[in-house]
Chains A and B, each alone.
Chain A
Amino acid sequence: MHPQKSEAIILQHIDYGESDRIVTFFTPEQGLLKGFARGARKSRKRFGAALEPFSGVRLIWRQRPNSSLLNLQEAELLDLRDGLRRDLKALALAAYGCELVAALFGEGGAHPEVYAMLKSLLDQLNVDGGCAEYRLLLELRLLRLSGHEPHLLHCAVCGGALPEQVHFSVEQDGSLCPACRVPGARPVSLATLGSLARCRETPADRFAGFHLGATTLGEGAPLCTAALDAQLPRRIKSREFLDRLEPLPPAPGGAGHS
C-alpha cells in the first residue's frame, strides 16, 4: 500500500507496552486518525519530540491490513509549541481544544476549517499564554463549526426583538423574550449577547486581539459552555482540569445551572 502524507496536529499519545505509542492526530483532509508509532516511547531516533501533544507535524503513514490503526512511518516536527509548556492555563486550554475537536469531529472526513481553527488556537496560546477569552472563543467557534448556532439577537421561539434583559435556554436553542421565557432559562444582558454575536461573526481561525469585559465573560462563558455541552457526545476530561485552574464565574442570578 502506498504511503500517505499530511500535515497534522498531535492530539494525544498513549504508551503501548514498553516501547511503542499509539498517537491520535488531526489532519485537514482526513480529520481524526490514529496511528501506531513503533519504538516511539523508548527510542528518540525515529520520531524525536514530534509526537508530543499539540505539536504541528508532517506525518507519513501506511494503512495496516484489517486495522483502523495506521502505521506511522515518519514524523517531521514543524512546531513543538514549546511556549505552552511555560503556562499551565495555556496547557489546560490546549488540552481542552484538542479533546473537544476529537469529541465533535471524531467521525473522520475533511475538516480544513476545524483544522485551521485548532492550529490558530494552539499558536495563540503558545505565544500569549492562556486566558478566559480563548476558552469562550473556542467554544463559540466549535458551536459554529459543528453547525449548532444558538439564536442570540432575536427570540429563539417567536423570532421577536429582545429587550435589555433577556433569558437564554439551551433547550430552546437560544435567547428568549419575556413572553417566551421558560423555567430554568438563565438571565443574560442584551449587551453580552451582542458581544457574543460579534465574536461569532469573526473568522473562526482568529484568536488574537479580543478583549472582552468582565460582564461579557461572566455571563457569556457559562452560556457558551452550556450550549456546547448539549452537543457533546461524552464527558470532556480536560474540562475538569481547566475548571479547577480557573473556575467559571457563577451564572448571574443563580438560575439555570447545567
Chain B
Amino acid sequence: MLDSIPSFARLVAELAKFPGIGKKTATRLAFFLLRQPRAEAEALAGAILELKEKIGFCSRCFHITESDPCPICTDPGRDEGLLCVVEQPQDLIAIERSRSFRGRYHVLQGALSPLDGIGPDQLRFSELLQRLKGGAVRELLVATNFTVEGDATALYLAGQVRPLGIRVTRLAHGIPTGSDLEFVDDATVNRAVEGRRDL
C-alpha cells in the first residue's frame, strides 16, 4: 500500500530502524510528521544532523562530547583520585543523574562477553590501564551492569588493577542481578554508589 507513496515509505523505513519502533509505530510517526508545520520538520532534521556533526567521543574518558576533552574531564571541581568505570555513555548519565559521584569516568564502550567472544581488546581497556598508570587514581569504582557481561568485566578489571595498588570497588548490590544500570531508578543508584564495596 505504501509503495504508491515512495517518499512516505522511505520515511517509514528509516523510522522503523529505531530500537523498539515497529512498522506500525513508524507509520504513526510519519503521519504525525506529515501534519507538522515545515519548520518543525526542519528543526528535527537539523537536530539529527547537528548530533552527527558535533558529537564525538572524548579522547580521555570516551564519553560522548561536543568538546574534547569533555566537560567532565576538564571540570576542576572533580576528584582526580576517584575513577568510575561504566560500560556505556548511558550508564555514565545514570550515575550523574543520581548525584552521588564526584570523581571522573571511563567509558569502556562495551563489556566482556564470554558468550559472544568479546575480549578486552575490543574495549577501551588499554586506555584505562594507561590512565591508571598515571598514578593519580586512588580508587576505581566499577559500575558495570549486574549481568554476566558486567560481572565478567568487573572480575577482569579487579585482577588487572589490584596489582597496581589501586583500591577496586563495585556498586553495592541492591541493584538486582540481571539489571542494566540505565533502567535502575536514581535513588537505588545513589544508594549503590554510597554503599560500594571492595572487590
Complexed CA–CA distance, A121 and B159 (Å):
24
Residues on A with C-beta less than 8 A from B151 are 85, 91
Complexed CA–CA distance, A19 and B183 (Å):
10
Complexed CA–CA distance, A240 and B119 (Å):
8
Count contacts between A and B, CB distance < 8 Å.
Answer: 69
Closest to A44 in B: B176
A96 within 8 A of B: yes
Tally of contact residues, A, Cβ under 8 A:
33
Given contacts A52-B177, A240-B119, contact A96 B114 (CB under 8 A): yes
Residues on B with C-beta less than 8 A from A105 are none
By secondary structure, the B interface counts as: loop
Interface bracket on B: 20 to 34
User: Given B152, B155, B178, which contacts A49 in the complex, CB threshold below 8 Å?
Assistant: B178
Complexed CA–CA distance, A240 and B122 (Å):
13
A242 within 8 A of B: yes
Interface residue ranges of A83-118 to B (CB < 8 Å): 85-88, 91-92, 94-96, 98-99
Listed residue (B115, B147, B177) with the most chain A CB atoms within 10 angstroms of its CB: B115
User: Given A53, A80, A238, which contacts B117 in the complex, CB threshold below 8 Å?
Assistant: A238
User: Given B20, B120, B152, which contacts A91 in the complex, CB threshold below 8 Å?
Assistant: B152
B31 within 8 A of A: no
Closest to B158 in A: A88
Contact A82 B177 (CB under 8 A): yes
User: Given B119, B176, B178, B180, which contacts A241 in the complex, CB threshold below 8 Å?
Assistant: B119
Closest to B116 in A: A237
Contact with A along B116-147 (1 / 0, CB 8 A): 11111000000000000000000000000001
Contact A87 B155 (CB under 8 A): yes
Contact B148 A85 (CB under 8 A): yes
B30 within 8 A of A: no
Contact with A along B74-116 (1 / 0, CB 8 A): 0000000000000000000000000000000000000011111
Q: List 8 A-B contacts (CB under 8 A).
A: A12-B115, A18-B19, A52-B177, A85-B151, A237-B117, A238-B117, A241-B113, A241-B117
A42 within 8 A of B: yes
Closest to A52 in B: B178
Residues on A with C-beta less than 8 A from B117 are 237-241
Interface residue ranges of B12-38 to A (CB < 8 Å): 19-20
B156 within 8 A of A: yes
Complexed CA–CA distance, A86 and B197 (Å):
14
Contact B155 A88 (CB under 8 A): yes
A207 within 8 A of B: no
Contact with B along A24-60 (1 / 0, CB 8 A): 0000000000000000011010001101111000000
B179 within 8 A of A: yes
Complexed CA–CA distance, A80 and B178 (Å):
10
Contacts A91-B155, A241-B117 aside, 9 further interface pairs with beta carbons under 8 A come to A17-B20, A51-B178, A52-B148, A54-B148, A85-B148, A85-B155, A92-B152, A241-B113, A244-B120
User: Given A17, A42, A80, A91, which contacts B114 in the complex, CB threshold below 8 Å?
Assistant: A91
CB of B133, distance to nearest CB on chain A (Å): 21
Residues on B with C-beta less than 8 A from A41 are 180, 183
CB of B114, distance to nearest CB on chain A (Å): 4
Q: Which 6 pairs of residues, A with B, have the shortest CB-CB distance?
A: A237-B117, A18-B20, A95-B114, A85-B151, A88-B155, A17-B20
CB of B18, distance to nearest CB on chain A (Å): 9
Residues on A with C-beta less than 8 A from B148 are 52-54, 85, 91, 95
Residues on A with C-beta less than 8 A from B112 are 241
CB of A21, distance to nearest CB on chain B (Å): 10
Residues on A with C-beta less than 8 A from B179 are 44
User: Given A49, A94, A237, which contacts B176 in the complex, CB threshold below 8 Å?
Assistant: A49
